[in-house]
Chains A and B, each alone.
Chain A
């Protein structure tokens, strides 16, 4: 297992290197640079823009720019955000907690809802309850998050006034108090629900189908023949087997956790990584853009690795070496 993990991690290095080249070239191919938007003649002197372009190295050939960037990057210097004028790592660290909180809440909601609905539907397939859950799930699958987000804001924020429509916390609460955390939960609930909608629907259906499939297997018939109570059969024998594939999804959820949700964060004006990424693309904030892209790439590779390892753990039949 250890050998396998090490081999995979070493294999990531050339992969990340290639990704960095592609992403860097693509970023530089975008028209304009971080200074081309600044065309306010009363505030900005052309000489200043020229000097900044020279200083930021935008006038150098692309391969030299890449080399400078990758050298600094390897040494842990991710560059200074051209938009925020602070190091890229600081601005990312500032937003990351919000995104992790949102991602974590969304996963929590997803798992709780998926388990309750999936187990119920799997146990009583083809009943009214199952069909109702199925219908709800297919609506959830079909509804893109930007539509769901707008509806959620319209009903729960504007009409009912239950949840705020924007922000991550009420600024007048003092940090660290119970009120502060309640306010954060209050703010995160709606975006987290919308964000989790799609995966809730797919996890529920996945779990339901797996339970139905397992309940027809031989070991279940044997257990029934022995007179094991129905609830024990479902909660222990079947559920244990059906959870296995779901657990492997955890690896991919890591990426979703940190990758943020561009659309959801934008609609709910929730200051996280997704929003930061979107801004950095449109403002050509290369240091932030590149750091985030590299982070996402790494996490995707890492998430894949975790998923593979988890497979091996929950299902000993799969040999990793």
Chain B
């Protein structure tokens, strides 16, 4: 069942490049037309124009769970963002800022949230704090069955409510319709970032059993929100039509309509060129073709994901990580392997240059990211240095076959694994990595593993996996503990370092850092320095996000936290 699938996906991809190539080149539009320029100027002078329909494309089918409280995948969230607002927003450094709710706290344990007045649901009801309480109670009722339970169970009394010991969550105190006091079970530095900050309309979901809510039509085909657009129609798995919400609390949107549709990624370039598509995210590999289009602008903005090459240094014993594998235990070996990689060349070749090499496992735009200059080792491409480090560490060629043996004199082969999904560039880019290592004398072997099996092996520390390629997307909460902590399953390299662990624990310990973000950032910077020297996994690149936006669409801005509110977007007519 796997093989034909892979083959099919590959064909589709190959053909997509073909399609894209077809639709490149020919018939250049006359963008230098003086008339068009006049129109540009006129539009700039008159300011935003009202009206028009914007078409937005998703490259994979959406699941149709159109509510923040129930969604769980890419695609759905792109659509929800058009019609529902979050209570709390994040700025370009991913620090929380008030949106509908603003807050005060003295001790990071008790927070008082105040709602904007006059925010209305699309069904006409006013949004009050009761809707938030309703959302929290719904999740707490479902408990462990709900994905967001860990964002709710830190509220005092939530666990009792879940177990049926209380009929209310003790930590939620409604002061009035616009004020809610939330008491957490203990003071933490990240209580605010962690708490579930999306309301759920009581009126819409009245009388529905929380278990059935995800399957209800209020979620799937007739969702409501508080955002700038209202959902007019949903064709499951295919498209969604949104019309403007005249009563949007931040002001009426300029656009009349947004149509979101799913198109196969091979059609992106052609549809953009035809003008039947106004905005879409796309895969970095098609960047050159999209940049060649005259009617489309490519907007780049910093991303929150990074890729790395990890080493299996141990295993997960069910509770915590234990470092007990010796093959890659030498720090010098790992450092040399990073010096051997020409990351810039690699990024240019396989990501169309949409990424930057980095020296720490935190994307630069995050507020806890340490300055690159402060990193002890700058891993510039330097094969000579790599060779020197290897020589010193005892990895020398003893039997004269051109490849280095390990310090004990035994044959040494780097076994590198990469996941295979059908994207034909994956094997090439993985092969390139092994070639960099072979160039400094490390014998390397590449193993492409089906993606599902790959993650299975990764999680279970299968001995077949030694050196692996991986990536993480990080969210608003900066804490690296879930990824690199001693007790974390996601710590795939199984790296344990007491000093690093202490720093991470201190950084979330209120008694050490208090509410001082400077101090917290400093601890994280120290942690990144240790990581930089130890390199339990080699940071390869941080991804730059891209969005193709038609030139007729104006007023769109992107930063690391996403786009500006769509009610500010407009179309030049």
Contact = CB atoms under 8 A, between A and B. Distances in A.
A and B together in one complex:
yes
B169 to A, nearest CB: 19
Contact of B8 (A46, A157, A262): A262
A161 B257 CA distance: 23
B262 interface: yes
Interface stretch (B37-45, B475-483, B505-513): B475-483
A32 B70 contact: no
A43 B236 contact: no
B273 interface: yes
A45 B488 CA distance: 10
B324 interface: no
19 contacts: A39-B455, A42-B474, A44-B147, A83-B63, A85-B214, A87-B215, A94-B237, A95-B237, A150-B19, A154-B22, A157-B270, A158-B270, A166-B263, A167-B262, A172-B257, A172-B259, A263-B8, A271-B61, A271-B236
B49 interface: no
Interface of A: 26, 30-32, 36-48, 51-52, 55, 83-87, 90, 94-95, 146-147, 150, 153-154, 157-158, 161, 164-169, 171-172, 262-263, 266-269, 271, 275-276, 278-279, 281-282, 284
B276 to A, nearest CB: 8
Interface string B492-535: 00000000000000000000000000000000000000000000
Contacts of A40: 473
Interface string B245-266: 0000000000001010111101
B220 interface: yes
Contacts of A169: 235, 238
B261 A284 contact: no
B103 to A, nearest CB: 21
Given A85-B214, A86-B214, A267-B266, 12 more contacts: A32-B456, A41-B483, A43-B72, A48-B144, A87-B215, A154-B19, A158-B23, A165-B270, A167-B238, A168-B238, A266-B12, A269-B238
Nearest to B237: A271
B88 to A, nearest CB: 15
Nearest to A269: B264
Contact of B267 (A161, A165, A271): A165
Contacts of B65: 84-85
A39 to B, nearest CB: 6
Given A42-B482, A52-B145, A32 B8 contact: no
Interface in B197-220: 214-215, 220
Given A39-B490, A48-B149, A51-B144, A166 B1 contact: no
A184 B47 CA distance: 38
A26 B477 CA distance: 40
Contacts of A275: 61, 237
A284 to B, nearest CB: 7
Contacts of A153: 19, 267, 270
A268 B261 CA distance: 13
Contact of B150 (A26, A30, A37, A45): A45
Interface in B118-175: 144-147, 149-150
Nearest to B193: A42
Contacts of B459: 36, 39
Contacts of B220: 86
Nearest to B473: A40
Contact of A171 (B215, B240, B455, B474): B240
Contacts of A51: 144-145
B271 interface: yes
Contact of A284 (B12, B235, B452): B452
Given A158-B274, A166-B264, A171-B261, A86 B23 contact: no
A55 B475 CA distance: 28
B70 A85 contact: yes
A171 B233 contact: yes
Contact of A161 (B214, B240, B274): B274
B475 A42 contact: yes
A282 B5 contact: yes
A269 B241 contact: no
Interface in B40-88: 61, 63-65, 70, 72
Nearest to A52: B145
B11 interface: yes
A42 B429 CA distance: 28
Contact of A281 (B1, B257, B477): B1
B455 A36 contact: yes
Complex A-B, nearest 7 residue pairs according to Cβ-Cβ distance, in ascending order? A32-B452, A42-B475, A31-B453, A45-B150, A271-B237, A158-B270, A51-B144
B23 A154 contact: yes
A47 B150 contact: yes
A158 B273 contact: yes
Contacts of B240: 171
A146 B12 contact: yes
B1 A269 contact: no
Contacts of A52: 145
B235 A267 contact: no
Contacts of B473: 40, 42
B5 A281 contact: yes
A125 B11 CA distance: 38
A282 B419 CA distance: 14
Contacts of A85: 63, 65, 70, 214-215
A167 B482 contact: no
B235 A43 contact: no
B19 A26 contact: no
A154 B273 CA distance: 12
B450 A84 contact: no
Contacts of A37: 452, 455
Contacts of A36: 452, 455-456, 459
Contact of B144 (A43, A47, A278): A47
A158 to B, nearest CB: 4
B373 interface: no
A161 B27 CA distance: 15
Interface in B455-482: 455-456, 459, 472-477, 482
A38 B215 contact: no
B259 A31 contact: no
B368 interface: no
A41 B482 contact: yes
Contacts of A268: 264
Contact of B147 (A32, A43, A95, A281): A43
Contacts of B266: 150, 267
Contact of B456 (A31, A38, A154, A167): A31
Contact of A278 (B5, B215, B489): B5
A86 B65 CA distance: 10
B537 interface: no
B236 to A, nearest CB: 5
A267 B264 CA distance: 7
Contacts of B453: 31-32
A167 B72 CA distance: 24
Nearest to B472: A41
Contacts of A271: 61, 235-238, 262
B239 interface: yes
B29 interface: no
B475 A167 contact: no
Nearest to A282: B5
B455 A269 contact: no
Nearest to A168: B238
Contact of A269 (B146, B263, B476, B483): B263
Q: Which of A38, A146, A282 counts the most chain B CB atoms within 10 A? A: A282
